[in-house]
């Protein structure tokens, strides 16, 4: 209506790319929008996200132009000046398997709900890649959810800029203060082993997690404590080394079968190894739970589907991701005064068939 229609529009039309739809979109910048709408870059920028500062008609015109041109702000450029990326980095030891899938789900949901993106990296165990992955995130993320059961203070110092918002998930305790979130590994393992002992088992083996892994160490500690409290003598030959993989679980089970005096129950430090053990035992013709009872840890979705359904220590895995992300977002919202969270996620014992208890839950509940 009241904007000068003659010269401005012609000039605009002369350079306007929009009659070649989708041709040059790749490079459309706020400068293009500004020119096309006949305003300065500053006004264009304001019209798009601080709209109260600009006249209503101008705002409308700029916005219309922007959407017609398919303008999308360049996040790199924006973050350069605002120092905000609205992205969080996620570093997991691996991307394989249900455990991490569930973690990611919790993280992603929470992040998206608050308008954050996720950038994902798997930091292969302990190696120099963790450092690389962290460096690659510089300038791309506002904060980090870091899961690395081999984490150390030294690594923290070397890779994390001091004061950078990080939530440590399932990491060993550090001297440097951080927000941390851990699973009740010790308690969970303790409860499972106590349960097995309560069923009358006297020889209870453990399939250990990866050496140097914090979760694994804690679960072993819980196992030993439960044995001691049940008045059972520790038996070194029943503590089998493992690495959380199914293959390790199968190998461990076979090793136990070769023992002169077999165990009557096995506690596997995670469900993956438990599943491997079940396979190996079935293969060897050993009945589960009648000859050997089995308990796992994590309660991954698959646990209830295998035969016999796996007793396990339930961890709400996706909730773990959610909580970690929530803490991180909270930190990002209040950058100033830091008081560090140190939370642990509770576990619950889930008794199904594989441990041989009577009051077992069904394996395949109808959804």
- The span of 31-39, 264-272, 329-337, 350-358 binding DNA (CB under 7 A) equals 31-39
CB 24, min distance to a copy of itself, A: 8
271 binds a copy of itself (CB under 8 A): no
- Nearer of residues 59 and 195 to DNA, judged by Cβ: 59
What is d(CA 262, CA 245) in angstroms, rounded to the nearest whole number? Answer: 22
Beta-carbon count within 10 A of 187 CB: 17
Among 13, 50, 114, 157, binds DNA (CB under 7 A): 50
The DSSP line for 266-317 is EEESSHHHHHHHHHHHHHTT--TTTTSEEE-SB--GGGGTSSSPPBEEE--H
Q: Could you tell which of a copy of itself, DNA, none binds residue 278, using a CB distance below 5 to 8 A set by kind?
A: a copy of itself
Among 163, 231, 285, 336, binds a copy of itself (CB under 8 A): 163
CB 42, min distance to DNA, A: 3
* Interactions with a copy of itself, residue window 125-144 (CB under 8 A): 133, 135-140
Partners of residue 345 on adjacent β-strands: 183
Residue closest to 190 by CA, chosen among 244, 248, 240, 230: 230
| C-alpha dist (Å) from residue 178 to 102, 211, 225 | 23, 24, 28
* Max Cα distance, the chain (Å): 98
108 binds a copy of itself (CB under 8 A): yes
CB 260, min distance to a copy of itself, A: 23
What is d(CA 164, CA 246) in angstroms, rounded to the nearest whole number? Answer: 36
Among 18, 35, 58, 350, binds DNA (CB under 7 A): 58
Q: What are phi and psi of 72, to 5 degrees?
A: -135, 130
What binding mask, one character per residue, do residues 59-88 give for a copy of itself by CB under 8 A, x or -? -----------x-xxxxxxxxx----xxx-
45 binds DNA (CB under 7 A): yes
Partners of residue 183 on adjacent β-strands: 345
Q: Could you tell which of DNA, a copy of itself, none binds residue 23, using a CB distance below 5 to 8 A set by kind?
A: a copy of itself
Find tokens 């439960």 and name the residue.
Answer: 226
Binding site for DNA (CB under 7 A): 27, 29-31, 38-43, 45-46, 48-50, 53-56, 58, 71-74, 77-78, 80-82, 139
């Amino acid at each position: 209506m009241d904007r000068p229609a003659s010269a401005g529009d012609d000039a605009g039309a002369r350079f306007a790319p929009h009659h070649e739809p989708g041709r040059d979109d790749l490079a459309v910048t706020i400068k293009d929008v500004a020119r096309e709408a006949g305003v300065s870059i500053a006004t264009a920028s304001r019209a798009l996200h601080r709209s109260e500062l600009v006249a209503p008609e101008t705002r409308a015109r700029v916005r219309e132009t922007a959407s017609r041109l398919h303008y999308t702000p360049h996040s790199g450029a924006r973050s350069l000046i605002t120092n905000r990326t609205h992205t969080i980095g996620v570093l997991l030891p691996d991307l394989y398997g249900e455990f991490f899938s569930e973690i990611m789900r919790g993280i992603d949901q929470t992040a998206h709900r608050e308008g954050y993106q996720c950038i994902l990296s798997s930091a292969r165990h302990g190696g120099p890649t963790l450092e690389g992955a962290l460096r690659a995130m510089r300038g791309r993320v506002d904060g980090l959810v870091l899961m690395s059961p081999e984490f150390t203070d030294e690594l923290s110092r070397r890779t994390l800029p001091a004061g950078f918002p990080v939530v440590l998930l399932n990491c060993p305790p550090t001297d440097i203060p951080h927000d941390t979130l851990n699973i009740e590994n010790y308690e969970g393992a303790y409860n499972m082993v106590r349960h097995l002992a309560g069923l009358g088992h006297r020889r209870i083996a453990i399939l250990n997690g990866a050496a140097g892994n914090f979760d694994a160490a804690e679960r072993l500690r819980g196992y030993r404590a439960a044995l001691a409290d049940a008045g059972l003598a520790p038996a070194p030959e029943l503590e089998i080394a493992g690495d959380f993989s199914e293959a390790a679980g199968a190998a461990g089970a076979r090793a136990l079968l070769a023992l002169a005096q077999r165990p009557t129950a096995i506690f596997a430090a995670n469900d993956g190894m438990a599943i491997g053990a079940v396979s190996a035992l079935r293969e060897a013709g050993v009945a589960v739970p009648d000859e050997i009872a089995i308990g796992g840890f994590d309660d991954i979705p698959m646990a209830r589907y295998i035969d016999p359904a796996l007793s396990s220590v339930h961890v709400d895995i996706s909730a773990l991701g959610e909580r970690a992300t929530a803490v991180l977002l909270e930190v990002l919202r209040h950058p100033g005064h830091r008081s560090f969270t140190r939370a642990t996620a509770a576990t619950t014992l889930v008794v199904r068939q594989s441990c041989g208890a009577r009051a077992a839950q069904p394996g395949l509940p109808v959804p």
